[in-house]
């Protein structure tokens, strides 16, 4: 029986898997979005979100813990200087996985994983949705129609 064995080994040895997740996390931090398979993205999400949470408090110990996982000075600096400032008020859920279909060669499920606060397209859509509110009652539709007709009538009289 496989009770409590939820960890996805991704068909790799432990050292290979940790090196791969470290490299993928560095790429995600540097580029803010990477394309990969769904299984790797889910494993990466479990790997990188605790590191981002750790980056919220900028202490020497937290920097050392994050560096021991990432092994990349540039990625650690980027994480603590830019990303931690942007996600300071977010209580979790720093990454988003969006599926993009299957890969041509082996039909593997592909997706891209991105940092949530860095997608400008999603942020613009949310702002636009809040700004365009409409009501669907006949009363308000008739009022707007009469208001729209009234200035036209005044313009005709003025000419």
Q: What does the pLDDT read at residue 156?
A: 52
- Expressed in angstroms, the distance from the first to the final Cα of the chain is 88
Taking the model in full, what pTM does it have? 0.75
Q: What does the pLDDT read at residue 130?
A: 57
Q: What does the pLDDT read at residue 122?
A: 76
Q: What does the pLDDT read at residue 136?
A: 77
Q: Using CB atoms within 10 Å of the CB of residue 18, give its burial: 0 to 12 exposed, 13 to 18 middle, 19+ buried.
A: middle
Collect contacts of 9-18 with beta carbons under 8 A, ≥24 apart. Answer: 10/39, 10/40, 10/43, 17/43
**pLDDT tens column, 27-70:** 999 999 999 999 999 999 999 999 999 999 999 999 999 999 99
| Matching residue, tokens 């969006």 | 98
**pLDDT tens column, 116-130:** 999 888 777 665 555
**pLDDT tens column, 87-110:** 999 999 999 999 999 999 999 999
Where do the domains of the chain lie, and which CATH numbers do they carry?
33-122 (3.90.1030.10)
């Amino acid at each position: 029986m496989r009770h409590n064995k939820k960890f996805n080994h991704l068909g790799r040895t432990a050292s290979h898997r940790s090196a791969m997740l470290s490299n993928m996390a560095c790429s995600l931090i540097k580029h803010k979005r990477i394309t990969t398979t769904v299984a790797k993205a889910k494993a990466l999400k479990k790997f990188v979100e605790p590191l981002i949470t750790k980056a919220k408090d900028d202490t020497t110990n937290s920097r050392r813990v994050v560096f021991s996982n990432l092994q990349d000075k540039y990625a650690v600096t980027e994480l603590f200087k830019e990303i931690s400032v942007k996600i300071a008020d977010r209580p979790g859920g720093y990454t988003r996985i969006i599926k993009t279909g299957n890969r041509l060669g082996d039909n593997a499920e592909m997706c891209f994983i991105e940092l949530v606060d860095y997608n400008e397209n999603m942020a613009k859509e949310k702002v636009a949705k809040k700004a365009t509110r409409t009501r669907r009652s006949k009363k308000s539709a008739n009022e707007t129609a009469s208001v729209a007709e009234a200035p036209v009538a005044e313009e005709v009289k003025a000419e």
